Amino acid sequence: MRRGVVPEQSLNDYESTSAQMITITGKTNLVGLLGQPVNHSLSPIMHNAAYEEMGLDWCYIAIPCDKKNLKQITTALRLIEFKGLNVTIPHKQEVLKACNKLTLIANNIQAVNTLIPEENNEWLGANTDLEGFLAPLKHHDLIKKNVVVIGCGGSARAVVMGLNNINVKKITVIGRNENSLNIFIQNMQKLLQKSDMVINGINSKNLSVTPYIEEADLIVNATPIGMNSKTNEEGSIPLGQETWKNLSSKTILYDLIYTPRPTDWLKLGKQKNCLTIDGLDMLVEQGALSIQLWSGFKDVPIKIMKSSAEKHLMV
Ligand code: NAP
């Protein structure tokens, strides 16, 4: 077997990096993220920064996982006593099958982003996206306001349920696929039977969305359009540049995406003097809530989690 030779320079780099690394011992507890892909995730950075600050001998790793292996992998990680798991795209709904119990929120949303170990090698499924999404909105009064949500996938479910909790008046969900939009609206209407909030679906392929955009107090992008190099046929701006021509400066734009920072859509919003919110606070808050659920500690160093993620984004 041919062995590689490490040049002197790289060896120095290695030594200086390893000096800053956490020490993993035989007692270190493991936690992690399941998704596909996970190599660009900020979660290992911000979680490990939190554990170091909290003095927890825990280590968080990103685990790439195909849909076909999800059940086997979650079972195996429970057997080797992982302290907890986060779940991301595209498994938040599929992972319900690996849960023996669900929290009320996860059951309502029918999506799980946090697995908590239970007795008998079982997993309890929870969802911290809803509270994470609401965290950056807590200083804005959205009672009886009009909201537009673009996209009707997994995170849109947490967004709609969260907006219902803060008593908005009306949500218009914009989708591009008639079938998934109809299913989404029907499911949400069933869940929100007792609520005064109105929820409607608009297919952007059949109807003009401009009137809904113009009357909105808050618009949430819950699609991946604008993320890294992901674009749709109109470019990197949800619904295309033309849609935003008459956007009011009073409208708040909230993009669930946190990389790039800002997205092209939020740049456009800033040019129109709108208040803009990106997805980093949501990411940090949902992660901090997961740590609370796994560790039982209420005091999670949110500021350290955010600054470690920001530093990493700048590299
Ligand atoms: P998802 O379940 O895959 O749903 C994506 C939605 O966007 C679907 O309705 C999909 O429509 C629509 N969509 C996808 N590509 C589109 C395109 N090119 N044009 C128009 N619509 C498109 O994903 P998700 O879990 O909801 O995540 C959505 C975004 O939120 C991702 O960028 C994710 O990173 C971000 N997110 C951020 C956080 C955070 O903590 N900040 C948390 C969760 C999610 P179809 O059904 O027609 O495909």
Residues 120-131 have pLDDT tens digits of 999 999 999 999
* Residue with CA nearest ligand 1 atom 1: 153
d(CA 55, CA 65): 29
| H helix runs in the chain, sequence order | 8-20, 43-54, 70-79, 104-109, 129-134, 154-165, 178-191, 210-215, 264-271, 280-295, 302-314
Mutation probe of ligand 1 site: the residue of 45, 46, 89 with most atoms within 8 A of C-beta: 89
| pLDDT tens, residue by residue, 160-169 | 999 999 999 9
Query: Is 215's pLDDT higher than 50?
Result: yes
Query: Is 185's pLDDT higher than 60?
Result: yes
| 112 Cα to the center of ligand 1, angstroms | 15
| 16 Cα to the center of ligand 1, angstroms | 39
Mutation probe of ligand 1 site: the residue of 256, 276, 313 with most atoms within 8 A of C-beta: 256
Place 231 in a pLDDT band, splitting at 50, 70 and 90: low
Q: Give pLDDT, residue 93.
A: 92
Mean pLDDT of the chain: 92
Percentage with pLDDT > 70 across the chain = 91
* Residue with CA nearest ligand 1 atom 4: 153
Q: What is the DSSP string of 119-185?
A: TTTEEEEE--HHHHHHGGGTTS--TT-EEEEE--SHHHHHHHHHHHHTT-SEEEEEES-HHHHHHHH
- Nearest-10 crossing angle of helices 43-54, 302-314: 140
Active site residue 145: no
Query: Is 3's pLDDT higher than 80?
Result: no
Catalytic residue among 92, 145, 170, 306: 92
Place 314 in a pLDDT band, splitting at 50, 70 and 90: confident
- Over residues 271-295, mean pLDDT: 98
* Residue with CA nearest ligand 1 atom 17: 232
- Over residues 293-303, mean pLDDT: 97
| pLDDT tens, residue by residue, 84-103 | 999 998 999 999 999 999 99
Q: Give pLDDT, residue 118.
A: 98
d(CA 209, CA 201): 11
Pocket of ligand 1 (CB under 6 A): 89, 129, 132, 151-156, 175-177, 180, 222-225, 227, 232, 256-258, 279, 282-283, 286
CB 171 within 8 A of CB 144: no
pLDDT-wise least confident of 12-26, 29-43, 56-70, 241-255: 12-26
- Over residues 63-84, mean pLDDT: 98
Q: Give pLDDT, residue 6.
A: 47
Q: Give pLDDT, residue 21.
A: 61
Q: Give pLDDT, residue 272.
A: 97
Query: Is 13's pLDDT higher than 70?
Result: no
Place 154 in a pLDDT band, splitting at 50, 70 and 90: confident
- Over residues 165-176, mean pLDDT: 97
Distances (CA, A) of 71 to 78, 124, 155, 308: 11, 14, 21, 32
Query: Is 143's pLDDT higher than 60?
Result: yes
Mutation probe of ligand 1 site: the residue of 96, 223, 227 with most atoms within 8 A of C-beta: 223
| 239 Cα to the center of ligand 1, angstroms | 13
| 223 Cα to the center of ligand 1, angstroms | 3
- Over residues 190-212, mean pLDDT: 94
Query: Is 4's pLDDT higher than 60?
Result: no
The atom of ligand 1 lying closest to the CA of 152 is: 9
Stated pTM of the model: 0.91
The atom of ligand 1 lying closest to the CA of 177 is: 47
- Over residues 186-212, mean pLDDT: 94
| 109 Cα to the center of ligand 1, angstroms | 15
